[in-house]
Structure formats: C-alpha cells, structure tokens
Amino acid sequence: MPNTPLLDTVNIPADMRGFDIPQLKQLADEVRAETIDAVSETGGHLGAGLGVVELTVALHHLLETPKDILIWDVGHQCYPHKILTGRRDRIRTLRQGGGLSGFTKRSESEYDPFGAAHASTSISAGLGFAAARDQQGENNKVVAVIGDGSITAGMAYEAMNNAIEATDGQFMVILNDNDMSIAPPVGAMSAYLAKQVSGDAYQRVRNIGKKFVDHMPRPFRETARKAEEYARGMVVGGTFFEELGFYYIGPIDGHDLTHLVPILQNALKITDKPVLVHVVTQKGKGYAPAENSADKYHGVVKFDVESGKQAKAISNAPSYTKVFGTELIKHAANDPRIVGITAAMPSGTGIDLFGQAYPDRVYDVGIAEQHAVTFAAGMAADGMKPFCAIYSTFLQRGYDQVVHDVAIQSLPVRFAMDRAGLVGSDGSTHAGSFDIGFMGALPGMVLMAAADEAELAAMIATSLEIDDRPSAFRYPRGDGVGVDIPELAKPLEIGKGRIVKEGTKVAILSLGTRLQESLKAADMLEQAGISTTIADARFAKPLDEDMILRLAREHEVLITVEEGAMGGFGAFVLQMLAEKGALDRGLKIRTMHLPDIFQDHNSPMAMYDEAGLNAKHIAAKAIEALG
C-alpha cells in the first residue's frame, strides 16, 4: 500500500518536527520528485537542490525556523527549502516574471532570513545573526550551509577566522561537500576535503553513527554537555577547521537520514564553540540524468523528466561567450604570453574552450574573484597578457583589487566582462548593471562595450594591443546578432566610435548591444518623418569627444543609450559636454540607462521593457524631447 503523500496532507514545516525517520525519508522522496517536476517546467538550478534534499528535510525537522536562522550559501540549492516553507503552491513560478526567485530572498519569505546569489556570504551573515542574538539576549539557533565550491572564497575564511570571537553561543556551519562547484572543484581545500572523505575516517564515522543511533534514547534527554560528548564522538581528523576554533564533525553521509538527524540534533546542542559539520552529498542525487551529466544539471533549461533531455533553443549566431573563447584561442596561437583566468566559471565565460586548446595557459582559481584580479595583476607585472574573464556582477567583488592592484599600477590586465546588462531569470543579483560606472571611473582604464559579436572580436584584438594600462570590454549573456566575424579581427582605434547611420534631427548614441534596438527606433522615427543618426560609441572611456561633440552640434536631440545603471556612459557624456560648453547652446539631451531600482527577475526582453530601453521607448524619448 503506498503511503499517503505527506506534502499534500500535512502542515509543513510545523508538522514535520514530530516526524520519525521513515516519515522524513518519505517526505524527502516527495520533495525530490516535486523539485524535479517543477524545474522541468521552469528551468533553473537543479543539481544543487537535489543534493541537499535530505539535509533540508533534516534541518527543518530539527530547527524551529523561522525563529531559528537557516542560511543557504548562494541560495541556488534552496528549491527544496522553498517547497517546505510555504512556497510549494508557487514553485512552478520559479524564476518566471512575478514568480518566486531562484535564490533566497528576504522579501519573499520569513524563512529566508538572508538573501543570497553571490557565493560565500553565508558564514559571515550567519555569524552576524549569532552576534545579534547574543547582543539581544536571545537563544535561537543559527545554521549556515555552504558548499565545497563556495568555501574556496576568501570571505568564508575571513568569517571562520572571526567565528570564535564574534559569538560565544551556538553557531553551526554545515559544509555541504558534493565534490563539485559548477565545474569540478579546484584547489588545495578541495584536495583536503577529498582526503577527509576518502580516508577510512568516513567509513568509521558511518559505523559509529549507526551504533550511536541504535543506542540513542528517544526522545533525546541528555544534557547539553552529554550531547556534546556524543557529537564529539563523531569527530575525526578535521584539524584545519579545529585550528580555526571550530568543533569539526564528519565527514557524514548527507543522504542517510538515520545518521544525519541524530548527529545534527546533537551538534546543534553545542554552545561553547562554533561547530562545523562536514556533510558528504552527491550533486544531482536521485535523478539519473543529473547524476550522470558532467555538470550534474547545475543549471538547466526546461527538460523532459523521463529522458532528461533539455529543450535547447536553436540560434544561428554563436553566443558572445563562445566568441570570446574562440577569438582568444586564435590570438593565443601567435602570442604565448596570452593566458586565461576564470574564477570558477570556466564554461560560463568560455575559458573552458581556451583551456581545451591551451591547457597550460589557463587558471581556474576557484570562487575567488579578488584573488583572480590580483593574480592577473601579478602576471601582467611580469610581462604576461592575462585575460581575466569574470561576469560583470562577480567583478564587483574584486573591485578594490581592480583599483589598487591593477589600475593604480597601470598594469595591462584585460577584463572580459561577460553577462553585462540584464541577464533575465537570475534577477537583480546577477544583473551586470554597474561595471560601466565603476570601471569607467578609474583613471587610465580603457572601457569598451560590444554592439555585436564582430565588435566583440575587434575589442578583444584591441585590448591585446593595449600594453601599458588596463582595458575592459563588456558583452551580454546570450547569442550574438548573426553578423560575420573576420578570420582575424583587427584592433579598433582607441577612443573612436562609429557612425552607423547618418541623419539630421535626432542623434542616438548607443553603447553596447542596445544598438539593435536603437536601429529599430531609428526606423520608427524615420517612418514618422524624423531623420535620425545612429552612432555606436564603442568606448565608454576614453570617449570619442570629436564624434560626440559633432553629434551635439548637428542635431536638435541627442540621446545616449546603455545597458547599465545611472552614473555610467550617459553621465560621462553629459560631463564631457558640460565641460566643453556644448550644453550651453540649447541641445536637448536625454540619457537612457537602467532604472534606479533593483529589477526583479523576468525574461531579458520583459526586463528591458520595464527598464524602458527597447526600441519603442527610445523612439518615444526622441519624440518627447523634440516636443
């Protein structure tokens, strides 16, 4: 007889606190099936969530959330958590416009005490909650769950280093070790963790855990001190974390609820020191297509549950990412000083292609953008030509390094800023909104934005020639527009834009891939009898002053368009025109940029619509300015 489905019939998470292990196992199976089914309809991050189903169930069984604080690092593994915390009815709206976020989000639920999406923040945030609890004389528990990939980042160590001093109460870090980042994990910490798991210690703990469970009084009535002794009985090795002041417990099997629940239950009673529980899981667990794929279905589009086959969109144009990877390979054939650097995003940035061609000239430094930038600076200082390929949003984390280690020393690091502009379903945390402002503010920086894939190829060639200062080029997520790319792209003249279409009344000055929308806007305006010039600025820094001053002189209206926040290209143009007195003669100027809000996730088209940056908005802006 099949059991009555729990998800449909009980009040979760309240009722699951009283579940026994068989009920928890049944619930985990249901949550796993629900997660797979939902993501098959929405797309999203699947493998990470499947790997933490049992852990999620165990934690919501043991903790009194939302009073107890549960923080998920990155948050891409939180779909099971959402299913268990009152959002099951909306789980098929994940990452869709108006629907649930693909990450934890404070505004979405009281069960998400801290928002995330960028990696490695959970220990710091959790420690903050623990310290706040201590200050306020409360006694809730705090748990931070961090992956083996995310624990490669400096921030995680800064937090662990501080843990013993920041709180004198309960604080637990769960290290969810699935031996995967998005790509296979890298670095010495990964090797260290693998050693912990592969040693006979892991087996021994499993056996101890079994005995422990068999003898555990139910309900558990021991004192906190006794509980600590039990938990300490699980401690094997772990000297690294012990040295940082943590009790280290593990490694333990993160899928076996009979072990996981009592060990976590006891470890949660430890209050004299922070605790790190090392849990071993499998990314993609319980869904064969995910388990068997190279990336464990880290991120997927809609798919067929039966076969696991993903619905790939067909495009005639290569992605910008692929163009970056292939162009770099071409140049590298002629220049042995070219190297590629990624911070744990080899496939996302196209550095994987470069690595296949030149395995000895590629560096995956882990989720360590700050290190990636200064590492690149060091290489550049010694005569190499590093291409540091980092998503615009993640480069924010390495900004001081860009300023202090690269720009002030005028080192020729080349920044390939992928995912510039709005990215769609990942939402505001991943939007590449700010790089024009923050890179363009730096003295000496050469900052370019590609309008199409051929322009990207030309900008890569340009940055290769810039050997006395840093340069950066930005390009969006997704496919190019289908233009031809020359066999070997030629460098651009630095600080020179191009006129794409000549007109007389309105000038639209575009930076980046809004050029296509600007051209469509020009068609609309021409149909309304308004002669329109379209210019592609190419450079946000240095600006093509001659071209822009001519546009200002010869047109009644000048509109700048960019896929970036205010304080970026439009502001640079305005400042330059003001400085040159070009605003004193009655020019009607408008700057079109992303709105001054953090936009929620949606399709990129819908987000640009909301931002007012599609063709119809550009045309309307010109008509409004003409009056």
Ligand X SMILES: CC(=O)[C@@H](O)[C@H](O)COP(=O)(O)O
Interface with ligand TPP by CB under 6 A: which residues? 48, 51, 74, 76-77, 118-119, 147-150, 178, 180-182, 283, 298, 343-345, 367, 369, 394, 397
Residue by residue, DSSP assigns 552-598 as HHH-SEEEEEESS-SSSHHHHHHHHHHHTTTTTT--EEEEE---SS-
| CA 478/CA 498 separation, integer angstroms | 24
Nearest residue (CB) to ligand TPP, 147 versus 564: 147
User: Known binder of ligand: residue 363?
Assistant: no
The verdict on whether 554 is a catalytic residue reads no
Task: Give the x/- contact pattern for Mg ion in 102-141, rule: CB under 5 A.
Answer: ----------------------------------------
Nearest residue (CB) to Mg ion, 194 versus 201: 194
Nearest residue (CB) to ligand TPP, 160 versus 511: 160
Distance of CA 338 to the CA centre of its chain: 26
| CA 527/CA 12 separation, integer angstroms | 59
| Options 32, 82, 361, 397, the catalytic residue | 397
Whole-number minimum distance, CB 577 to ligand TPP, in Å? 37
| Options 34, 369, 453, 455, the catalytic residue | 369
- Length of the chain measured in residues: 627
Q: Which residues here bind ligand X, judged by CB under 6 A?
A: 45, 74, 76, 182, 299, 348, 419, 423, 426, 477
| CA 423/CA 477 separation, integer angstroms | 6
Whole-number minimum distance, CB 296 to ligand TPP, in Å? 8
34, 401, 411, 462, 526 from 406: Cα distances, Å: 47, 7, 5, 18, 45
Please choose which of Mg ion, ligand TPP, ligand X, none residue 555 contacts, taking the beta carbon within 5 to 8 angstroms, the exact cut-off set by kind: none
Assigned token pair, 232: 């300490």
Assigned token pair, 319: 């992605």
Query: Which residue, chain included where needed, has tokens 């990155």?
Result: 74
Whole-number minimum distance, CB 152 to ligand TPP, in Å? 8
Q: Which stretch binds Mg ion (CB under 5 A): 132-140, 146-154, 317-325, 424-432?
A: 146-154
Whole-number minimum distance, CB 47 to ligand TPP, in Å? 7
Q: Applying CB under 5 A, which of residues 68, 148, 228, 253 lies at the interface with Mg ion?
A: 148
Please choose which of ligand TPP, Mg ion, ligand X, none residue 48 contacts, taking the beta carbon within 5 to 8 angstroms, the exact cut-off set by kind: ligand TPP
Nearest residue (CB) to ligand TPP, 13 versus 398: 398
User: Known binder of ligand: residue 148?
Assistant: yes
Contact between 536 and 516 under an 8 Å Cβ cutoff? The reply is: no
| CA 551/CA 506 separation, integer angstroms | 9
Please choose which of ligand X, Mg ion, ligand TPP, none residue 130 contacts, taking the beta carbon within 5 to 8 angstroms, the exact cut-off set by kind: none
Nearest residue (CB) to ligand X, 13 versus 348: 348
Residue by residue, DSSP assigns 265-308 as HHHTT--SS-EEEEEE--TTTT-HHHHHSTTTTSEE-SB-TTT-
User: Known binder of ligand: residue 335?
Assistant: no
Query: Which residue, chain included where needed, has tokens 């501080």?
Result: 162
Please choose which of ligand TPP, Mg ion, ligand X, none residue 77 contacts, taking the beta carbon within 5 to 8 angstroms, the exact cut-off set by kind: ligand TPP
Contact between 133 and 168 under an 8 Å Cβ cutoff? The reply is: no
For the CA atoms of 372, 376, 378, 380, the dihedral, rounded to the nearest 10 degrees, stands at 180
User: Known binder of ligand: residue 418?
Assistant: no
| CA 254/CA 58 separation, integer angstroms | 10
Nearest residue (CB) to ligand TPP, 40 versus 122: 122
Whole-number minimum distance, CB 143 to ligand X, in Å? 20
Nearest residue (CB) to ligand TPP, 119 versus 547: 119
Please choose which of Mg ion, ligand TPP, ligand X, none residue 462 contacts, taking the beta carbon within 5 to 8 angstroms, the exact cut-off set by kind: none
Q: Applying CB under 5 A, which of residues 23, 85, 167, 178 lies at the interface with Mg ion?
A: 178
| CA 337/CA 413 separation, integer angstroms | 12
Q: Which stretch binds Mg ion (CB under 5 A): 144-152, 238-246, 502-510, 558-566?
A: 144-152
Q: H or E stretch including 95?
A: none
Cis? peptide before 412, omega within 30° of 0: no
Whole-number minimum distance, CB 627 to ligand X, in Å? 41
User: Known binder of ligand: residue 118?
Assistant: yes
Residue by residue, DSSP assigns 190-256 as HHHHHHHHHSHHHHHHHHHHHHHHHH--SS----HHHHHHHHHTTB---HHHHHTT-EEEEEEETT-
Helix and strand tally (H, E) in the chain?
26, 19
Q: How many CB atoms lie within 10 A of CB 539?
A: 26
The verdict on whether 397 is a catalytic residue reads yes
| CA 184/CA 282 separation, integer angstroms | 13
Nearest residue (CB) to Mg ion, 85 versus 178: 178
| CA 438/CA 568 separation, integer angstroms | 8
The verdict on whether 520 is a catalytic residue reads no
Whole-number minimum distance, CB 477 to ligand X, in Å? 5
In one-letter notation, the amino acid at residue 34 is E
| CA 570/CA 483 separation, integer angstroms | 27
Distance of CA 468 to the CA centre of its chain: 31
Output DSSP code: residue 475: -
* 180 contributes a contact to Mg ion by CB under 5 A: yes
Q: What residues contact residue 450 under an 8 Å CB cut-off, 6+ apart?
A: 320, 456, 459, 473, 474, 475, 512, 513
Nearest residue (CB) to ligand X, 93 versus 140: 93
Return the biggest CA–CA distance within the chain. 87
User: Known binder of ligand: residue 287?
Assistant: yes
Assigned token pair, 256: 């076996």
Whole-number minimum distance, CB 183 to ligand TPP, in Å? 8
Contact between 498 and 533 under an 8 Å Cβ cutoff? The reply is: no
Whole-number minimum distance, CB 6 to Mg ion, in Å? 28
Nearest residue (CB) to ligand TPP, 74 versus 461: 74
| Options 32, 95, 141, 283, the catalytic residue | 283
Contact between 577 and 552 under an 8 Å Cβ cutoff? The reply is: yes
Please choose which of ligand X, ligand TPP, Mg ion, none residue 367 contacts, taking the beta carbon within 5 to 8 angstroms, the exact cut-off set by kind: ligand TPP
Please choose which of ligand X, ligand TPP, Mg ion, none residue 344 contacts, taking the beta carbon within 5 to 8 angstroms, the exact cut-off set by kind: ligand TPP
User: Known binder of ligand: residue 144?
Assistant: no
Query: Which residue, chain included where needed, has tokens 């748990």?
Result: 143
Please choose which of ligand TPP, ligand X, Mg ion, none residue 477 contacts, taking the beta carbon within 5 to 8 angstroms, the exact cut-off set by kind: ligand X
Whole-number minimum distance, CB 296 to ligand X, in Å? 12
- What does DSSP say about strands 172-177 and 275-280: parallel, antiparallel, or unpaired? parallel
Binding-site residues for thiamine diphosphate sit at: 76, 117-119, 149-150, 178, 287, 369
Q: Give catalytic residue positions.
A: 283, 369, 397
Residues lying near Mg ion in the complex (CB under 5 A): 147-149, 178, 180
Binding-site residues for Mg(2+) sit at: 148, 178
Binding-site residues sit at: 76, 117-119, 148-150, 178, 287, 369
